[in-house]
């Protein structure tokens, strides 16, 4: 993401513009992800998130500073986890799995909508010959929104505690195995820190490349499908 941009030959003004655009695109992605968790939990009988003030679309209620910077500059990150009390659910395993999937699914939907808006903006700019910094910034906001939402969704589906994918896996495992599996969460942060460090070490950088390859390819191909195969084909024919 922006980490490579900082070390590129792009002029300083353009770097600032792209950083600003990324922040504008990132805030809704993180906010919608956590709001979705809280909203689905609330609908399934758990009012913990609402009582904690997390059933909100205000980014300040959800943003984790470190997780946000990681998402911007490294390509994966997180927000403050929404509190959930599974004992308030009628069917704890099923309902917790639904709550966990709500965040990534919402990001996929947001990415799809952003892709349509990006395609619409791009087609309008080409058709009517709009060529300005404002038009470019709007396009980039939608483009980064697609990438960040997809990256957030795919990253959270990794089956490593405490990510959403691991919660779904734990809901499928027997209680004893789920308890053992959940203990991995104590090492998860060190695993990701280690991968970030390895990315800056020649030869060893192949390890994080292999680990994050599915996410990066997933973001690329899904973005292409959403934008080119759906968005451009729809608006290219209409306008």
What amino acid positions are annotated as catalytic residues? 34
Of all helices (H) and strands (E), which one includes residue 162?
Answer: none
DSSP 44-106: TT--HHHHTT-S---GGGT--HHHHHHHHHTS----PPPP--GGGSSSHHHHHHHHHHHHHHH
Task: Give SS3 for 186.
Answer: helix
Residue 60 exposed, middle or buried by CB count within 10 Å (0-12, 13-18, 19+)? exposed
State both tokens at 172.
Answer: 């499928």
Tell me how crowded residue 81 is: count the other CB atoms within 10 A of its CB.
15
Give the Cα-Cα-Cα angle 191, 97, 192 (nearest 5 degrees). 10
- Give the whole-angstrom CA distance, residue 139 versus residue 21: 10
Of all helices (H) and strands (E), which one includes residue 113?
Answer: helix 92-127
- Our measurement of the distance from residue 231's CA atom to the centroid of its chain's CA atoms, rounded to an integer in Å, reads 20
Phi, psi of 85 (to 5 degrees): -110, 105
């Amino acid at each position: 993401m922006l980490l490579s941009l900082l070390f590129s030959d792009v002029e300083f003004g353009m770097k600032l513009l792209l950083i600003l655009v990324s922040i504008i695109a990132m805030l809704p992605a993180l906010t919608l992800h956590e709001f979705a968790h809280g909203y689905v939990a609330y609908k399934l009988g758990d009012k913990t998130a609402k009582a904690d003030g997390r059933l909100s679309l205000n980014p300040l209620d959800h943003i984790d500073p470190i997780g946000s910077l990681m998402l911007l500059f490294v390509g994966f990150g997180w927000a403050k986890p929404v509190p959930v009390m599974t004992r308030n659910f009628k069917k704890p395993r099923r309902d917790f799995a639904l709550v966990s999937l709500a965040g990534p699914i919402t990001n996929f939907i947001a990415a799809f909508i952003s892709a349509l808006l990006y395609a619409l903006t791009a087609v309008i700019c080409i058709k009517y010959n709009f060529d300005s910094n404002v038009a470019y910034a709007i396009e980039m906001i939608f483009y980064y929104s697609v990438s960040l939402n997809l990256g957030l969704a795919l990253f959270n589906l990794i089956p490593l505690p405490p990510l959403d994918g691991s919660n779904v896996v734990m809901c499928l495992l027997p209680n004893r195995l789920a308890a053992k599996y959940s203990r991995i969460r104590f090492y998860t942060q060190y695993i990701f820190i280690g991968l970030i460090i390895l990315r800056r070490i020649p030869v060893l950088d192949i390890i994080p490349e292999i680990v994050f390859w599915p996410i990066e390819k997933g973001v690329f191909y899904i973005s292409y499908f959403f934008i080119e195969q759906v968005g451009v084909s729809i608006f290219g024919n209409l306008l």
